[in-house]
Amino acid sequence: MRRVVWMLVVAVVSTVSVGLVSQEATGLHPDKPWAFPSRIEKPFPEDDAPKTLPGSMRTYTMAQIDDLSNPPDWYPDQHPTPPPIVVKGHGGAMACGACHLMSGLGHPESSDLTGLSAEYIVQQMADFKSGARKDPTGKRMNGIAVEATDEDVRQAAQYIAALPRRAFQKVTEADMAPRTALRNGRMRYLAEEGGTEPIGGRIITVPEDPARARLRDPNSGFVSYVPRGSLARGKAIVETGGGRTVMCTVCHGNDLKGLGKVPRLAGMHPIYTVRQLHWFKDGTRNGADAAQMKPVADPLTDEDIVAVSAYLGSLAP
């Protein structure tokens, strides 16, 4: 009898742990929807009215703005002439400028690509293509990398690497954060009913001007509310390792602006950085150079990751 009970216990425990492992391996982290936006909670109502932005001669409808293969280019005079794949998609290779904007500065649910070297971008596209690096929340980059040609990737990388880096988001410590909802484009917007809630251990990122961000305005940035004390805690880990990991400056440079295939970290959308650190830990991001990051990210707790990401986001790009 006792033996049967033990066998049952072992069976239950191993089922539970297999369950936990496979949930981790999906990379979705459903307990952190503030950093891993995988599902639209409240779509905007349909709207056909033509849209404009200050200082742009162009007009687009919402359907045109959300056409990921032919996205708006509001300010063609603000960037060099993009190669075809940045402005126009083909098949599953959607236009890079749709989600990352023609400026490359991107939204917090995608990523800021400015400041990356062409060789790093080419490597990441190869890692997305092979599946060694996964994009489980957006489910975007793996399909795009498979469908993009080598020439598309080469041209996009060259264009992006030449884009200027500029401040597009800011970070502010707070006890309370605005209430939000995840809406079209998997972007977090202020809740219609307004109000605030305790920030807890989260980072809450919202557009500075929701109406303009919705139109993919490359000149309207984001603000992140981060827990009080996280900037000082993050700074200590980044600069010294905080007694638990390797200081980031060793590889990413004293100014954290990267070098060659080691990417820049300063001035990034903090929730993008949160996702990457969890994904190095859980193996979702396992590309050619990820082995260098795995032992660095492994010892970091959830709270450390929030602190490091908040601090890095607060630095000048």
CB-neighbour burial class of residue 81 (10 A; exposed 0-12, middle 13-18, buried 19+): exposed
Q: Which residue lies nearer to ligand HEC by CB, 132 or 190?
A: 132
Distance between CA atoms of 313 and 90, rounded to whole angstroms?
33
> What is the per-residue binding string for ligand HEC in 10-49, x denoting contact by CB under 6 A?
----------------------------------------
- The CA-atom distances, in angstroms, between 187 and each of 34, 36, 272 are 10, 10, 12
Distance of CA 111 to the CA centre of its chain: 4
Spatial separation of the C-alpha atoms in residues 295 and 278, rounded to whole Å: 12
Q: Which of 117, 142, 276, 314 binds ligand HEC (CB under 6 A)?
A: 276
Closest distance to ligand HEC from the beta carbon of 92 (Å): 10
Q: Please, which of residues 277-316 interact with ligand HEC by CB under 6 A?
A: 277, 285, 287, 289-290, 292-293, 296, 308
Report if residue 231 touches ligand HEC, rule: CB under 6 A.
no
Q: 63 CB contacts (<8 Å, ≥6 apart)? A: 48
138 binds ligand HEC (CB under 6 A): yes
Identity of the residue numbered 149: T
**Binding to ligand HEC, residues 97-136 (CB under 6 A):** 98-100, 110-111, 113, 116, 121, 123-125, 135
* Smallest separation, CB 277 to ligand HEC (Å): 6
Which residues, at least 6 apart from 186, have a Cβ–Cβ distance to it below 8 Å? 37, 38, 39, 40, 109, 137, 138
Q: How many CA atoms lie within 13 A of 165 on its CB side?
A: 18
Report in angstroms how near the CB of residue 195 gets to ligand HEC at its nearest.
Answer: 28
Closest contact distance (angstroms) between CB of 250 and ligand HEC is: 5
Distance CA 97, CA 315 (A): 25
Applying CB under 6 A, the residues found at the interface with ligand HEC are 68, 85, 93-96, 98-100, 110-111, 113, 116, 121, 123-125, 135, 137-138, 140-141, 144, 148, 152, 156, 237-238, 245-246, 248, 250-252, 262-263, 265, 272-273, 275-277, 285, 287, 289-290, 292-293, 296, 308
